[in-house]
Amino acid sequence: MNDTAPVIDVVNLSKAFGPKVVLSNVNLQVREGESLVVLGGSGTGKTVLLRNIMGLLEPDSGHVAIEGKIVHQLDREGLFEVRKAIGMCFQMAALFDSMTVFENVAFALRRHTGMTEAEIVDRVDECLSMVGMKGTQALKPAELSGGMKRRVGFARAIALKPRILLFDEPTTGLDPVMTDVIGRIILDLKHELGVTSITITHDLKSAFEIADRIALIFRGECIACEPPDAFKQNPNPVVQQFLRGDADGPFLQDPPPPKRALARVVHNPLQLL
Amino acid sequence: MLTPLFERIGTHVLRIFDQAGDFAVISGRAIAAVPRRPFDPQNLAKQFLAVGVNSIPVVLLTSLAVSMVFAVQLAYGFKQFQAEGLAAQVNGLAIVRELAPVITGLMMAGRVGSAMAAELGTMQVTEQIDALECLATDPVHYLFVPRLLASALMLPLLTAFSIWIGYWGGYFLLVGVEGQSATIYASDFYKLLATRDLGIALTKGFVFGVIIALVGCWRGYRTRGGAEGVGNAPTSSVVTSSLWILISDFFLTKLLLV
């Protein structure tokens, strides 16, 4: 591993929704060109981690720094500048359903670049070919299958040539073949674009294919973060149970009871309802 | 024993202030975003079509129905005092000052405001609004501004259209059915009115348009909780904006007529 400053630096990140602690003191560093895979059971705060990195949520404590800039301290303009360098691929693609595939991929190009319409057409074509969706420009998202939507989502995320790509469960709900296809596309994007990436997934096969390092989040804490081979050998019973995919073990056991607080500070009264 | 009761009251009061504050902040951001670049003429044209042109049939039918039924009641009421001649004058006064702006506002809250809440609500729960954020686009600028402009500019026009339809609704009833003179109706309709009254009507239309767009967009933008949330957003936007249309109508009438 080189000793350059991390591109994505998650420092002591904690986030709770009301009484439910989702992330507590998570530390992760991703260096330039590195591909980090974050594993974890459902509802363990993986998506919340990505949303904190994108600045869609504000941490309760700790911070996320992208290329040295602390995300939640930026003003809107600064935040948008950071986001232009990041391509986010949503779990359900989140394509704009009132627009065609072309308009979806062209969206950021039209708003943030001075490209001519002809250049935009070329760039959209290029992005769609990279994800194997050439020729689908005129279709609406409703006419696409789940796997196709995600690939168009990838094309939209890479349109602005980001330096960082974030994938939120890119293979969840897809058949094994499509899961492999998506895994390969992520690998191709990694090699062709040389981007730094974080991929959140449950799928171990694609995780080991695309990861330079694998992190496991368990009860809001990052309990392991190491290269795939070392991860496989990790003696932690939670890691081993996750790798085996076994129902028996510490993974599903109830967490120890939380320390009782005398009074709970309510930041948002809506959370009480 | 009383503590839970006070807690519940307190929670509700806090919630009302919380929501009012949130609405004020988002509305302020939306209004401040109006002159900001990039302008989006395509999106704006789409909203003008949705709010303005596509609303013409609804405004036509409701204005016609309301003006005709009002003329029936006036003709009946004034007949009791052998003062049928006053029906056209009062009809004109009521339509221009109150009925056209308020009926148009309420119908648009139902037709346009609810559609805005449902559309933005669906975008919110399907992460499309987050996707906008991630594509470095301010959702308040991209989604609110075209809807706000379309609604604020189209509502006065629709109000004017409603007045025109109201004129002919009354004409049909009072001249066609009751047999009053057409020339007298034409001059009587405007007898109690000044040009200022048209200005008041259009101002009301403008204010109602702003209320409808801001409430509809805000409700949609703040949608939480999947399909149920998307289902509640339009209902709540219609109730809230209708309420504010009626309340603001009272104050606008009081302020502008002085």
pLDDT in tens, B208-253: 999 999 999 999 999 998 889 999 999 999 999 999 999 999 999 9
For residue A191, the model assigns a pLDDT of 85
Query: CA-nearest residue of chain A to B122?
Result: A97
Residue with tokens 């919380």: B18
Task: Say whether A92 sits in a helix, a strand or coil.
Answer: coil
Counting as low any pLDDT under 70, the low residues of chain B are 258
Mutation target vs A (from B119, B134, B145; most A CBs, 10 A cutoff): B134
A contacts of B18 (beta carbons < 8 Å): 268-270
| Contact residues, chain B, for A88 at CB < 8 Å | 131, 134
Which pLDDT value is given to residue A172?
81
Residues 72 through 111 of chain A touching chain B, CB cutoff 8 Å = 76, 80-81, 83-84, 86, 88, 90-92, 94-97, 107-108, 111
For residue range B219-230, list pLDDT tens digits in order: 999 999 888 999
CA distance B94 to chain A (A): 41
A117 contacts chain B (CB < 8 A): no
Percent of chain A topping pLDDT 70: 91
pLDDT at A268: 55
Those residues whose C-beta lies under 8 Å from the C-beta of residue A83, and which sit 6 or more positions away, are A54, A55, B133, B134, B135, B136
Backbone phi, then psi, for A159, in 5-degree steps?
-55, -40
Task: Judge: B136–A56 Cβ closer than 8 Å, yes or no.
Answer: no
Residue A261 has pLDDT above 80, yes or no: no
Mutate to test the interface with B, among A97, A115, A169 (most CBs of B within 10 A): A97
Q: What is the ipTM of this complex?
A: 0.85
Q: Which residues of A touch B138 (CB under 8 A)?
A: 76, 80
Measured between CB atoms, which of A94, A108, A272 is closest to B126? A94
What local confidence, expressed as pLDDT, does residue A272 receive?
47
Q: Over the stretch A174-198, which tens digit does the pLDDT of each residue have?
A: 788 878 888 888 888 888 888 899 9
For A273, which of B11, B123, B136 is closest by C-beta distance?
A: B11
Chain B partners within 8 Å of A96 (Cβ) = 123, 128, 131
The most distant pair of C-alpha atoms in chain A lies apart, rounded to whole Å, by: 64
- Closest chain B C-alpha to A213 CA, distance in angstroms: 25
Which pTM was predicted?
0.87
What whole-number distance in Å separates Cα of residue B84 and Cα of residue B91?
A: 11
Q: What is the pLDDT of residue B190?
A: 87
> What is the structure's pLDDT at B31?
95
Between chain A and chain B, the number of residue pairs with CB atoms below 8 A apart is 60
Of the pLDDT bands very low, low, confident and very high (cuts 50, 70, 90), residue A253 is low
- What average pLDDT is seen over chain A? 86
Which residues in A lie closer than 8 A to residue B133 (C-beta atoms)?
Answer: 54-56, 83
Give the largest CA-CA distance in chain B: 73
pLDDT at A205: 85
Contact predicate B230/B222, CB 8 Å: no
Structurally, chain B folds into a number of domains equal to 1
**Contact flag A96-B128 (C-beta cutoff 8 Å):** yes
The pLDDT value recorded for residue A256 is 59
Task: Please give, rounded to a whole number of angstroms, the shortest distance from the CA of A234 to a CA of chain B.
Answer: 35
Looking at residue A187, what is its pLDDT? 86
> Phi then psi for A64, rounded to 5 degrees?
-120, 130
Contact check, Cβ <8 Å, A84/B11: no
Q: Is the predicted pLDDT of residue A73 greater than 60, yes or no?
A: yes
Domains of chain A: 32-54+82-248 (3.40.50.300)
Residue A263 pLDDT greater than 50, yes or no: no
Residue A1 has a pLDDT of: 45
Burial class (CB in 10 A: 0-12, 13-18, 19+), A110: middle
Q: Write out the residue range of the structural domain in which residue B47 sits.
A: 2-257
Q: Can you tell me whether residue A175 is helix, strand or coil?
A: coil
DSSP assignment, residue A107?
H
How far does CA A234 lie from the centroid of its chain? 24
Give mean pLDDT, residues A115-129.
Answer: 93
Give the per-residue pLDDT at B193.
Answer: 85
Chain A nearest C-alpha distance from B39 (Å): 10
Q: Which of residues 53-72 of A touch B (CB under 8 A)?
A: 54-56
- Range A135-159 average pLDDT: 92
- Nearest residue of chain B to residue A165 (CA atoms): B134
Q: Chain A residue closest to B136 (CA)?
A: A80
How many angstroms away from the CA of B125 is the closest CA of chain A? 10
Residue A89, beta-bridge partner list:
A167
Cβ separation A269–B11 shorter than 8 A = yes
Asked if B131 and A83 come within 8 Å (Cβ–Cβ), the reply is: no
Chain A partners of B137 at a C-beta cutoff of 8 Å? 80, 107-108, 111
Return the CA Rg of chain B: 21
